[in-house]
Amino acid sequence: MNLLDRAERRFGHLAIPHLLHVIAFLLACAFVLSKMNPYFVGMLTLDPERIMAGQVWRLVTYLFIPPGRGFIMPDWAVTVFYISFLLWVGNGLEQAWGIFRLNVYCLLCVIGITVCAFFLGENLSVFIFFQSLFFAFARFYPEEWIYIYFILPVKVKWLAWVDGLILVLLFTVMGMGFKVALIVCLANYFLFFGREIFLAAKLRQEVAGRRRRFQNETRKPDDVAMHHCAICGRTEIQAPELDFRVAKDGQLYCVEHLPKASPPAAPTA
């Protein structure tokens, strides 16, 4: 029994059922309140100084901040998309993991985000939280379809690869603080899937090695070829498209180097 199994037996009763549904509901409430009071969102942000001053609710309320406008869609439509995303991903991950493991996964991500905000000054906040959830969902359901902004159908695995490439690009161009923060915030993903990813890569390498060995063992060596051109040295193994002929001198030639018949000798007087 691994560490998570033991922890679930001891603390499983503390897990929050439908956690992502709760976050989706609170996000919807925050959106409505932000429309009533534009300054409301400012009370939810992950601000280390204000947290140290006693506003401890900010340790979690940043998860409920509405996403804002999209490229082509108003803020309410983007918020509806995010809420739908949370409900969909929440159902899938709870079915694949169970309530306790999903709670632990989210908690580890929140801890990573908080640590980076306090000690590195990098506030990745809700952006990386959603990315972490989506990568986990893509591991379990890579063939599912998602409709971006309810319009463009894309397979989950394709979108996950695009998101991963974007994060890699950001990792290469941003400063050291961002790089460390990204690694820390995605540590939950690697803790849950790192061993699986490593074993899958190792298995692919072993399969590729066995395939190469099989091909090498079944390949017919040139020194036992049945046809060998006396001029160019090629065999039917090296050049399967060649035809071979035996010349009058008893030697074997490929058709390209087959000696031509000598013309008849001129009559002498």
pLDDT tens track for 134-159? 999 999 999 888 877 667 788 889 98
Question: CA nearest 239: which of 251, 252, 225?
Answer: 225
Model confidence at 217, in pLDDT bands (50, 70, 90)? Answer: low
What is the average per-residue pLDDT within 221-240?
Answer: 72
Distance CA 26, CA 66 (A): 10
pLDDT at residue 266 in the model: 41
Across the strands, what pairs with 147? 153
The more confidently predicted of residues 73 and 105 is 105
Model confidence at 222, in pLDDT bands (50, 70, 90)? Answer: very low
Least confident interval from 71-75, 102-106, 184-188: 71-75
pLDDT at residue 122 in the model: 76
Within 8 A by CB and 6+ apart from 51, the residues are: 58, 59
pLDDT tens track for 4-55? 888 888 888 899 999 999 999 999 999 999 999 988 988 999 888 999 999 9
pLDDT at residue 267 in the model: 41
Domain boundaries, the chain: 3-196, 221-259
Greatest mean pLDDT range, 30-34, 113-117, 149-153, 224-228: 30-34
pTM for this entry: 0.73
Average pLDDT of the chain, as a whole number: 83
Direct distance between the N- and C-terminal alpha carbons of the chain, in angstroms, rounded to an integer: 106
User: What kind and span of H or E run contains 37?
Assistant: none
